[in-house]
Amino acid sequence: MIEERFSMAGRRAVVTGGGGGFGRAFCRILAEAGAEVIPVDIDGAAAEETASLVTGAGGQAWAIECDVADATAVEGMTERLAETGSGVDVLINNAGNSPPSRRVADIPVQEWDDVIAVNLRSVFLCTRALIPMMLTTESPSIVNIASVLGMRGFHPDVISQAGYAASKAGMIGLTLQTAADYGEFGLRANAVAPGWHLGTNLSKRAGNFATPEQEARLQRTLRERVPLQRASTAEELAPLVLYLASDASRFVSGAVMTHDGGWTAI
The per-residue pLDDT for range 156-200, each reduced to its tens digit, is: 656 568 999 999 999 999 999 999 999 999 999 999 999 988 866
Task: Report the C-alpha gap between 78 and 71 in whole angstroms.
Answer: 11
Strands 232-233 and 197-198, bridge-based pairing: parallel
Strands 64-65 and 36-41, bridge-based pairing: parallel
In this predicted model, what pLDDT tens digit does every residue of 115-145 receive, in sequence order? 999 999 999 999 999 999 999 999 999 999 9
Q: Residue 209: is its pLDDT beyond 70? A: no
Least confident of 86-90, 172-176, 210-214: 210-214
Give the residue, 107 or 204, on which the prediction is more confident: 107
- Residue pair 12/86 in contact by the 8 Å Cβ criterion: no
In this predicted model, what pLDDT tens digit does every residue of 5-21 receive, in sequence order? 999 999 999 999 999 99
What domains can you pick out in the chain, each with its CATH number?
A: 2-265 (3.40.50.720)
Looking at residue 161, its pLDDT comes to 85
Task: Report the C-alpha gap between 91 and 208 in whole angstroms.
Answer: 31
3-state helix vs strand vs coil in the chain, percent to 5 = 50, 15, 35
Mean pLDDT, residues 203-220 taken together = 65
Looking at residue 85, its pLDDT comes to 84
Looking at residue 217, its pLDDT comes to 76
**Positions marked active-site:** 164
In this predicted model, what pLDDT tens digit does every residue of 30-80 receive, in sequence order? 999 999 999 999 999 999 999 999 999 999 999 999 999 999 999 999 999
Give the residue, 71 or 215, on which the prediction is more confident: 71
User: Hey, CA dihedral for 78, 167, 215, 152, is it positive or negative?
Assistant: negative
The DSSP result for 4-66, as a single string, is HHH--TT-EEEEETTTSHHHHHHHHHHHHTT-EEEEEESSHHHHHHHHHHHHHTT-EE--EE-
**pLDDT band for position 98 (cuts 50, 70, 90):** confident
Q: What is the pTM of this model?
A: 0.94
Neighbours of 88 (CB within 10 A): 26
Looking at residue 160, its pLDDT comes to 66
